[in-house]
């Protein structure tokens, strides 16, 4: 099983190989969510998350889940996973 701290590092490595289209500086938040199978990653623009600049927000429907057993990242749609996401528990993955 991947720990929350390991998951954060795996996401950073994933983004190094697969740079996301983000306005501003990439930020991986310390507050994620989890269920029995997956982590729900929380990431985006540092300017949006820390400075509250709405123009840096990402308003698409995409989410990134990480499999807790393998560390594999998968892209999916928020609205298709609404029930799963609502049932997830908040966790702290650290600042890295």
Question: Is the pLDDT reported for residue 96 higher than 80?
Answer: no
Residues 43 and 56: their CA atoms lie apart, in Å, by: 12
Q: What letters, b where the CB count within 10 A reaches 16 and e where it falls short, cover 57-82? A: eeeeeebbbbebeebebeebeeeeee
* Average pLDDT of every residue of the chain: 94
Q: What is the pLDDT of residue 64?
A: 97
d(CA 6, CA 82): 25
Given a cut of 90, whether residue 76 has pLDDT beyond it is: yes
| pLDDT score at 79 | 95
What's the pTM? 0.91
């Amino acid at each position: 099983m991947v720990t929350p701290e390991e998951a954060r590092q795996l996401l950073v490595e994933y983004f190094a190989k697969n740079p996301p289209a983000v306005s501003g500086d990439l930020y991986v938040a310390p507050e994620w969510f989890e269920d029995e199978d997956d982590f729900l990653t929380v990431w985006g623009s540092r300017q949006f998350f820390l400075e509250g600049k709405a123009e840096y927000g990402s308003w698409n429907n995409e989410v990134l889940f990480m499999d807790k057993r393998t560390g594999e990242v998968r892209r999916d749609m928020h609205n298709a996973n609404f029930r799963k996401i609502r049932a997830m528990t908040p966790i702290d993955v650290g600042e890295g």
